[in-house]
């Protein structure tokens, strides 16, 4: 139905929802890793993150969880993009939805952000995680 194709963009809204679900999961993983690496003196501190840049200037021995923080910011943006896509999808009045540019822009941005952040998170954080055996025992 050509009129439905002009008025609705349900497939893109659903795809954006899938990206949103992925962002929720990635945010939880990044938060968990950040909390497990908290320290060095107090906090859980069961894992050691790779140092991607100089550590804290006020807390010696602390490795800043910058990759975790970057991932959570990307996830927050993707969640916001999904809200914009949802609003765009809901604005198909009668036979026409003029919000397609907003839908397309936000879906494409979400794909790019999640793919770039996931690659960076895997390469610069996850592969370098080590257990703090002394602390765990």
In the chain, where the domains are located: 2-136
Per-residue model confidence (pLDDT) at position 44: 92
Residue 57, pLDDT score: 74
- C-beta separation of 62 from 55 below 8 A: yes
Mention the CATH class of domain 2-136. mainly alpha
Number of other residues whose CB lies within 10 A of the CB of residue 28: 12
Place 92 in a pLDDT band, splitting at 50, 70 and 90: confident
pLDDT exceeds 90 at position 6: no
Residue of 117, 120, 136, 123 whose CA lies nearest to 47: 136
Residue with the bigger pLDDT between 131 and 52: it is 131
Say which residue, 113 or 55, is predicted with more confidence: 113
> What is the predicted pLDDT for the residue at 132?
94
Q: Using the predicted structure, report yes or no on whether residue 14 has a pLDDT greater than 80.
A: yes
């Amino acid at each position: 139905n050509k009129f439905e194709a002009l008025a609705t963009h349900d497939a893109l809204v659903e795809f954006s929802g899938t990206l949103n679900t992925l962002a929720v999961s990635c945010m939880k993983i990044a938060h968990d890793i950040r909390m497990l690496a908290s320290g060095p003196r107090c906090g859980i501190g069961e894992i050691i993150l790779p140092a991607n840049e100089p550590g804290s200037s006020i807390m010696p021995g602390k490795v800043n969880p910058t990759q975790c923080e970057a991932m959570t910011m990307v996830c927050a943006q993707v969640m916001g993009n999904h809200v914009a896509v949802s609003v765009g999808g809901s604005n198909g009045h009668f036979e026409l939805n003029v919000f397609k540019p907003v839908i397309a822009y936000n879906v494409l941005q979400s794909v790019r952000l999640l793919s770039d952040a996931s690659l960076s998170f895997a390469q610069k954080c996850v592969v370098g995680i080590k257990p703090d055996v002394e602390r765990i025992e």
